Each structure stands twice: as C-alpha cells, then as structure tokens.
Amino acid sequence: MSAISALWNAESIAVIGATERPGALGRKPMDFLLRHGYKGRILPINPRGGEVLGVPAYASLTDVEGPVDLALIMVAADRVPGAVDDCVAAGVPLAIIASSGFAETGEEGTALQAGLVARARAGGLRLIGPNCIGAVSFNNRVLATFSPLFGAESVPFEPGTLAFVSQSGALGFGAASLALQRGLRPGWVVSTGNDADVTALEVLRELSAEPECTGLLGYLEDTPDIATLRTLAESGKPVALLKSGRTEAGGRAAASHTGALATDDRVLDAALRQLGIVRVDDIDELLDVAQAFEFPLRPEGPKVAVVTTSGGSGILAADAVEDAGLELSALSPESTAALAEIVPPFGAVENPVDITATVLSDPSLFDKSLDVLIADPAVDIIIACFCVMAGPDVEKAVTALSKAARKGGKPILVARTGADFLAPDAPAQLREAGLPDYPTPARALRAASALWQVSRPRTATSAPAGPGAPAPAADAGEPQLKALLAAAGATVPKGRIVTGAEDAARLVAELGGRAVAKAVVPGLLHKSEAGGVLVGITEQEAPEAYGKLAALGGDVLVEELAPAGVEMIVGARTSALGTVLTVGLGGIFTEVLDDVSHRLLPLAPGDAEAMIAELRGAALLNGARGTAAADTAALARLLEHVALAVQDWPEGFELDLNPVRVLKEGAGAVVLDAAYTVAAPAAD
C-alpha cells in the first residue's frame, strides 16, 4: 500500500484533535466514521485521554500500539508542527492537515508551511493539505473529513467508481454532493488544499491505479506539474479537469487565494488536449462528463447520429454537434433508404433522424431505426433525444436503447428533456442500461465530445523521434543560430559574415546580384528599426551598405533574397509546463489578433499540421486573396525540426524565428531571422 492510498485503504485512522464537544469540527470525523460503519481502528487523540464518543482516546499519538495508516490533524495552526512530529515519531506514512493558517494567509504562513513539509520529508511522512477538508472513500467507508456533507441524514452512501479530487475542499465536496443528487456514484472524494506536499494531481494519479475507478475528475488552482499530468494520462483512465484562474480576473483571484502562479492558459489548453485530458469550465460540465465516465463504451470516431422524437430537439442537437467539435454523420444511402421504410412521412430520414412522437404508439420504431444507425459505419456515437415522455414510454425507449448499445458497442447518450416526476424510474433504468442521460441535447453532446477526447487514438508523445541539437551559447547571434537550425534540417538563406566592403560586393554578385545585408550586433534586438537590415542591395550598393552596417558596431551578414511568401513566426520557449512550441501568422496577425497556436514538446505525428490548421488565419496559407497556396508542409517540417533541435536545451530559453517565410507550394519555408535569449525560467 502506497502512503497516499491510505486515504482510501487505511485500516487505522488517528484523529488528532478528536473531541465529543457538540458542534466542534474535531467531533465530525468521529461521528462520520462511527455512523457509516468504518471497519478499521478509530484512534481519537486528545490530551485529556478518556473516551471520545465511546471510543478509547489516546493522550498522544505516540501512545498508540500497532501501525497507524493515516492521521487526520485537526488542531490549531500553532500545534500542527508538534502533531507532525508525533506522526513521524509514530511511523505514520500519511497525514492530512485540515488546519488553516498556512500559505493561504501570507508570508508568515508560507514559511510555517514550508517548515511542516521539511519536517515531514525528513521523517518519511507524506502530507495532504494543509487547509483542506480531508478525504472520503465510499467504498471502504474511510471518512477522514469534517465536511458537513456527511452530517446530512439523507446523504447516499454507496460504493462508487468516480474519483473526485479537488484543491478546494468546499468545491470538491460541493461537487460530490451534486453528483450524489444526480444519482452518480463517487467512490472517492479527496481535498488537498494548499498542495504543500502531495498535490491533487498526485492523488488523481494514485487513484487511476485503483481497478474499480472508471473516471477521474479534478479541480485545480495551481498550474499542474507536467510530468504528473503525463503519467496520469498514460494510466488510460479518462480524466477531466476544471482548472480555475483561466481569465485575468480569475488568475488574480487565484493568486490571492493559494498563491497559485498564473500560467499562459492557452499553453495549458494545448497540453491537456495533447494528453487526451478533458478540460471543463464549470462544475456542471465536470459532472456531465463524470456521468459519461461511469460507463465503459467509447467512440471510435467523432461522427454523431441523432435520433429524436422531437424535431426541435433534433435541430438543437445538430447545432450542438458543431459546437462540441464533433461531426454529424453522413448516413449511407442504404441507411437512409432503410429509414424511409421505418420513419413516418412527417419525420426525417436524414441525420438528425426524426422518428416523431409516433414512437409512443409504436415503440418498435426506436428499435428499428437504432438498428440501422448501429449498422452504419459512418456512425460512431448515437444521441437519442426525447421530450416529456412519461413512465411507461421511457421504459420502452430505454429497453430499445440498451439493446442497441449492447449489440453495437457504440456509445449512446440520451437527451431527455422532461422532468423526473414524469418518469420517476427513468434515471435508475437508464443507469442500469448503461446510458448516460442529460436534460438537453447540448449537454449530451458536450459529454459525447469528452468521450471522444479521452478515447481518440494518440501516438506516444514521451520520446522525441530523433537527436537534439546542442544548446546555443547564451550570446549566440543570428549566424550561429541559423547554422544550428540548418544542421537541424531547417532551410536558411544562403550567405555568410563578410570580411569587408569588397567581400560584401563579391558575395552579392555570387548570390545573383541582389541580396540582403544585415548588421549582427549582440544585444541589438530591433534590427530593422535601427536600420540594421538592408533588403535588395546590388553589387554596386554593397560597399556603402557594408559601411553603414559595420558602423553599428558588429559583423555584417550578407544573404540571398528569399522569394515572396507568407510570413510566419515560430518560437520555442520554456514555460511552467515544459518547453512549448508556438506558430503564428506574422505581422499584423500576431500583433493585432494574437493568432498563435501552441504545443508542448515533444510533438506527436500530425501535431505540426494541426497547429497550423488551428490558426484563425490559416486560410491565408491556403491561397486566399487569389495568391498561390503556400508550402504548409514545409512549415510543418520546420516546426518538427525546431521541436527536435531544442529538446535538450536547458530551461529558461526563448528561441524566436521571426519571420519565417513560407514560399509557394513545393518551394519550402525559409527562416529569415532568428534570436535567442536565456533568462530565469518564465513564471508563466
């Protein structure tokens, strides 16, 4: 048993600060463990000894005989260090510090928290918290928490398969309570507060190894650790994360709450997409996705067939397919013909298939049309919509749908736009049949999209597909960088540093009679603005050009003129999540629209093309405005060359290729300028 898994496997739990004083927080875990029938040893620790709610108490943790798997520390902040020492002394592998008064309060608290972590690490103790609400396993009835959720008389308490892990205890248990209200089955709820030692992400990773766990849901405030994210994704279990602080306002609020550092949210978005982790923006969405994660069916593609008893729901579903980034299946002619035999004339046999309310008088309509859709290879996912159907009608529909789901192995999600009082047994029937259900088509499709995100095939991204380049010297200039990039497979203009005016003229002649001359001056970042770039100089103009540029205090580079093309920027830099590769349309698109796309390295096959396609102005490369299409394939190769080249560079660098000119199709992409800076690792 790993230390962390004591959160759900503990066979003995010490409650440090246990009391039977009514209303006291230190009473609650005792209450909960007793009420819900925890099978292990309950060890209340209270300096007064005696009993707590009839359970023999110990004056000190060190008095306890036998192993203690988990300690829950619920004493005031100033007494927490002593409690941690006791845990170390007693050989406890894991302690939850529920107490507040640490990093969330400012500098002093941050120092206090660092001290706790140091003590614990030295003593081989892992810590959850501080400033958290504890953890619960619905399966093993471990209730190391004071959440009011378990004080409610009517809280459902059954085994479950969904793992909820949240930095915010209030949101985590709040979300879990809403999940229970929806009839979902959380198996584990863990809050990790300030994430001082063990992080929420580590707990998720640990839970991904639990065989019964079918889905992992997390709420994070801190920027996630990329290595942990990767191993979590590699577990193969579906994961959805709600990461708050997305916006500027949210980021400021997060910083003041847990001191979380802001990250470039779009880099995180890209990373999660690369790893097949679903990102949601609200608790509701998290629960919608969780519901789909309870069931095992996964789509083999993004193509959706909608079958509906209401034309209106069908239209809403079609809108939602597009919003969710899925595709409406183009049904085969055979399917359409078969449906025409089945569907009433006032229905529709194209997708969305409207079987109309006639299904109420002829339930076989559902079976027959589902059979057609299940058999059509153009269908990966089925969304079944129905409105205001009452009890017996829902039952018939559920029977048809569950038969179809079993037969076809394709996920079916239900959009049932009708109150539960119309069909009180429907939720249980749908769950029994393995059919996630939602009140609206849009929500069903959001969940379907999540299923596709977690199941779409991903090539391994753990190892780059080739050797890297040596890192440039910190003061590497344009010629060194271009040489390095050329060695890595990139195209750079022909040319070199010239030795003087005469050499410059000779080289211009060699390069075809017109060339570019550039000043290479360390520290001169805005070369063009400083007059350091002369484009199109002739052999005759070369000596004067040389003189001007040399006067700027550095070397002079003479290069061939690149043909016309579309200007792009390409960059690679260290981010809080690892090295990130960026591509964007140059000039105005970058400056005015911030039109860039990102990927964490390493790239997987197809990533480079996808990055380019994601740009809002991508059409520009495809020959908009009557110009020839640009060589996007060459740009994609360049992205891959850059990705490989920088893979082993030490953290804290920024490489900017600006501009990269993408020539007409088949003619390549040329790096016209390159700059490199080394800094402390960026805080983003």
Per CB under 8 A, contacts with a copy of itself among 522-581 are none
Which is closer to a copy of itself, CB of 125 or CB of 220? 220
Which residues, in sequence order, are CB contacts of 260 under 8 Å at separation 6+?
221, 222, 223, 245, 254
Which residues, in sequence order, are CB contacts of 206 under 8 Å at separation 6+?
2, 4, 5
The rounded distance, in Å, linking the Cα atoms of 285 and 449 is 12
Q: Is 158 in the site for a copy of itself (CB under 8 A)?
A: no
- Residue 477 burial by Cβ neighbours in a 10 Å radius (0-12, 13-18, 19+): buried
For the segment 114-143, give every residue that binds a copy of itself (CB under 8 A): 131
Pick the binder of a copy of itself from 56, 91, 114, 181 (CB under 8 A): 181
Please report where in the chains the tokens 């360049």 appear, as a residue.
Answer: 638
Smallest distance, Å, CB 342 to a copy of itself?
Answer: 16
The pairing of strands 578-585 and 555-560 is unpaired
x/- string (CB under 8 A) for a copy of itself, residues 88-117? ------------xx--xxx--x--------
Please report where in the chains the tokens 């480079």 appear, as a residue.
Answer: 608
Contact of 359 with 368, CB cutoff 8 Å = no
Smallest distance, Å, CB 101 to a copy of itself?
Answer: 6
Hey, which residues does 578 pair with through a beta bridge? Answer: 575
For the segment 346-365, give every residue that binds a copy of itself (CB under 8 A): 346, 348, 350, 352, 354, 356-357
Smallest distance, Å, CB 337 to a copy of itself?
Answer: 17
Q: Is 313 in the site for a copy of itself (CB under 8 A)?
A: yes
The rounded distance, in Å, linking the Cα atoms of 576 and 270 is 13
Q: Is 166 in the site for a copy of itself (CB under 8 A)?
A: yes
Which is closer to a copy of itself, CB of 214 or CB of 313? 313
Which residues, in sequence order, are CB contacts of 209 under 8 Å at separation 6+?
235
Looking at 84-92, 118-126, 281-289, 541-549, which segment touches a copy of itself (CB under 8 A)?
Answer: 281-289
Q: Is 253 in the site for a copy of itself (CB under 8 A)?
A: yes
Looking at 55-63, 290-298, 316-324, 572-580, which segment touches a copy of itself (CB under 8 A)?
Answer: 316-324
Q: Is 311 in the site for a copy of itself (CB under 8 A)?
A: yes
- 3-state SS track over 411-448: CEEEEEECCHHHCCCHHHHHHHCCCCEECCHHHHHHHH
Closest CA to 347 of 320, 384, 309: 309
Which is closer to a copy of itself, CB of 16 or CB of 317? 317
Maximum Cα interatomic distance, the chain, rounded to a whole number of Å: 101
Contact of 71 with 94, CB cutoff 8 Å = yes
Q: Is 322 in the site for a copy of itself (CB under 8 A)?
A: yes
Which is closer to a copy of itself, CB of 48 or CB of 625? 625
The rounded distance, in Å, linking the Cα atoms of 224 and 415 is 34
Q: Is 312 in the site for a copy of itself (CB under 8 A)?
A: yes
Smallest distance, Å, CB 154 to a copy of itself?
Answer: 5
* Length of the chain (residues): 684
Closest CA to 580 of 107, 263, 193, 302: 263
Pick the binder of a copy of itself from 89, 159, 252, 563 (CB under 8 A): 252
Smallest distance, Å, CB 336 to a copy of itself?
Answer: 12
The rounded distance, in Å, linking the Cα atoms of 446 and 478 is 47
Q: Is 649 in the site for a copy of itself (CB under 8 A)?
A: no
Which is closer to a copy of itself, CB of 237 or CB of 527? 527
Smallest distance, Å, CB 92 to a copy of itself?
Answer: 26
Q: Is 502 in the site for a copy of itself (CB under 8 A)?
A: no
For the segment 590-619, give every residue that binds a copy of itself (CB under 8 A): 591-593, 616-617, 619
Pick the binder of a copy of itself from 123, 174, 427, 466 (CB under 8 A): 174
Contact of 376 with 331, CB cutoff 8 Å = yes
Pick the binder of a copy of itself from 122, 154, 460, 463 (CB under 8 A): 154
Tokens of 24: 């006291």
Which is closer to a copy of itself, CB of 88 or CB of 328? 328
Contact of 404 with 367, CB cutoff 8 Å = yes
Which is closer to a copy of itself, CB of 415 or CB of 488? 415
Residue 332 DSSP SS3: coil
The rounded distance, in Å, linking the Cα atoms of 318 and 352 is 7
Smallest distance, Å, CB 398 to a copy of itself?
Answer: 16
Which is closer to a copy of itself, CB of 276 or CB of 302? 302
Which is closer to a copy of itself, CB of 258 or CB of 582? 258
Closest CA to 61 of 79, 43, 81: 43
Size of the site for a copy of itself (CB under 8 A): 98
x/- string (CB under 8 A) for a copy of itself, residues 419-458? xxxx----------------xxxxx---------------
Tokens of 421: 């009082």
